[in-house]
Chains A and B, each alone.
Chain A
């Protein structure tokens, strides 16, 4: 590529001259027990080449048989994306020479996808974008190659490659959007929000673990620019395997800036795949994009057509969970959260945790406070997902109950979480063992307040003169003497009583 591929145009300048068109292809690895066409385990990992059989190794004479559960998941995903479900469709062979499939082809669907013509409404900053879904089709995952030799461990310059076929044949659903037009400056955010909302939907359906970091959900980002006002789509590039929500946003932004630089220089965009580099936030040239013709698709003769009855489709429609967007709107209203509060809660992935904590009796704002601040921070520090932190919604509700009952204050409650993470028992037991209960005995508090007043006569005078705000200094002194184990509101009352 020419030097211009390294040049970037400032984002604002891109927007002034061009309209972006986005397209997203998301692969979802299903969580079935077995592979798409054989009874090998579809579990992640395993010792190399231990989840293999004659079918997924493509040995002569081996016959594939479709996993019914995978078809069911595909139909449910299609329905959740408001798609039509094919009355009759076939699998097709996608032929190519690359050893990640031992058969020399990938079994996929070509012009007869199981689901088509759907949409998903995506919200960005309160604005709704309708993302049209062209199709969702069934296919199989490929094996995993390790490249040996060469400097970088990447494919270029490798001496030879080692292939593990455990992943080959795991059911995949590929979800393809139509070009998303008119997003303008929000194109990067729309791309991110689409993938994020799609993931939420997949999780709600329970059809995949949908972990981007483990490759259960992989996004390919298509992008092209056309001169402002033109209705002709530009040449696109496809950035493969962008594996976090943030990277989806960054990759769109980067490609917009890179395309603009090439077009500004009067050069043409080369239709190709691009590799995303997480560390540097850039894309580099991959391979020229093959035309579909080059894959020589033809109907798979070893598999019979899939013809889901309308009864089955309607039965599956009945199993769909509440749409995540509607569910969020309902919860936000029930909880009385502001848009900003709800957005933070969603971004932190604690909607379910808060819902369960509220169900256990905690007030929504209290549940939000603990999950969003205290527990998110601890999960971050520990480098784990918040759901894997080891604190349950029931425990959070129990801690909040202790706060509500004035057994502990917020500061002491944090120590209760310390105890919970250290496995010291129930919140009540931790309060007992650690001696965390606030002193509600007014005698002890009263003495501490007297001491604080005596030690700070000037502050006391101010309060006597009506400067109530000065009470903070005395409260601090009392809390210090009580080693934090006092109810600050009660301390304040006592101070004001004594100095009125």
Chain B
């Protein structure tokens, strides 16, 4: 039976940048466990000969020609941004990791 611990939920919340209170963690951890169990019942019907599905269409090798097609102008792209400066997207101060 899959089970998700309170600690694991707290770790996931950190990764997802969701601020959860202790009360919320107590409340959500058992609920998530139930959801996982329900989804896991699928593995009861799928035998070892059934590969996990990652795509609904039985296709491979859908490729694009390496040819430039027009995209958006900077004005169009930035029109959707909450904030912009120097023709760039302005984002809040980044703490922690740098990729």
Closest CB in chain B relative to A172 CB, distance in Å: 12
The residues in A between 152 and 177 inclusive whose CB is less than 8 angstroms from any CB of B are 155, 158-165
CB <8 Å contact, B64 and A66: yes
CB <8 Å contact, B91 and A65: no
CB <8 Å contact, A286 and B68: no
Interface size class of B (residues with CB under 8 A): 35 or more
The residues in A between 174 and 226 inclusive whose CB is less than 8 angstroms from any CB of B are none
CB <8 Å contact, B74 and A161: no
CB of A304 within 8 Å of the partner chain: yes
Instruction: Tell me which of B17, B68, B86 contacts A33 (CB under 8 A).
Output: B68
Instruction: Output the nearest chain A residue to B56 by Cβ-Cβ distance.
Output: A301
Contact A51/B71 with A160-B91, A287-B97 known, Cβ cut-off 8 Å: yes
Interface string of A22-65 (1 = CB under 8 A from B): 00000000001110001111000001111111101101000001
CB of A96 within 8 Å of the partner chain: yes
Interface size class of A (residues with CB under 8 A): 35 or more
The residues in B between 62 and 76 inclusive whose CB is less than 8 angstroms from any CB of A are 62-69, 71-74
Instruction: Tell me which of A40, A147, A299, A307 contacts B71 (CB under 8 A).
Output: A40
CA distance A287 to B67 in the complex (A): 38
CB of B61 within 8 Å of the partner chain: yes
Instruction: Output the nearest chain A residue to B55 by Cβ-Cβ distance.
Output: A304
Instruction: Tell me which of A39, A50, A106, A304 contacts B64 (CB under 8 A).
Output: A39
CB of B45 within 8 Å of the partner chain: no
CB of A311 within 8 Å of the partner chain: no
Contact A39/B86 with A158-B94, A287-B97, A304-B57 known, Cβ cut-off 8 Å: no
Query: In the complex, which residues of chain A have a beta carbon less than 8 angstroms from the beta carbon of B71?
Result: 38-40, 51-54, 56
CB of A305 within 8 Å of the partner chain: yes
CA distance A106 to B99 in the complex (A): 11
Closest CB in chain B relative to A19 CB, distance in Å: 31
| Interface-centre pick from B16, B59, B93, B99 (highest chain A CB count, 10 A) | B99
CB of A71 within 8 Å of the partner chain: yes
CB <8 Å contact, A34 and B68: yes
Closest CB in chain B relative to A203 CB, distance in Å: 20
CB of A327 within 8 Å of the partner chain: no
CB <8 Å contact, A160 and B92: yes
Contact A161/B66 with A50-B73, A90-B54, A294-B15 known, Cβ cut-off 8 Å: no
CB <8 Å contact, B72 and A54: yes
Instruction: Tell me which of A69, A99, A106, A305 contacts B89 (CB under 8 A).
Output: A99
CB of B78 within 8 Å of the partner chain: yes
Task: Show 20 A/B contacts (Cβ-Cβ < 8 Å), sorted by A.
Answer: A39-B69, A54-B71, A65-B62, A66-B63, A67-B66, A70-B66, A88-B60, A96-B97, A145-B94, A147-B94, A158-B94, A160-B93, A164-B88, A287-B98, A301-B55, A303-B55, A303-B62, A304-B55, A305-B55, A306-B61
Known: A48-B88, A68-B63. 14 other contacts (CB 8 A): A33-B67, A39-B64, A49-B87, A49-B89, A54-B71, A57-B80, A66-B63, A70-B66, A99-B91, A161-B90, A161-B92, A300-B54, A304-B55, A304-B60
- Cβ-closest 7 pairs across A and B: A53-B71, A68-B63, A39-B69, A299-B54, A69-B66, A162-B88, A307-B60
User: Which residues of B are interface residues toward A (Cβ below 8 A)?
Assistant: 15-17, 54-55, 57, 59-69, 71-74, 77-78, 80, 85-94, 96-99
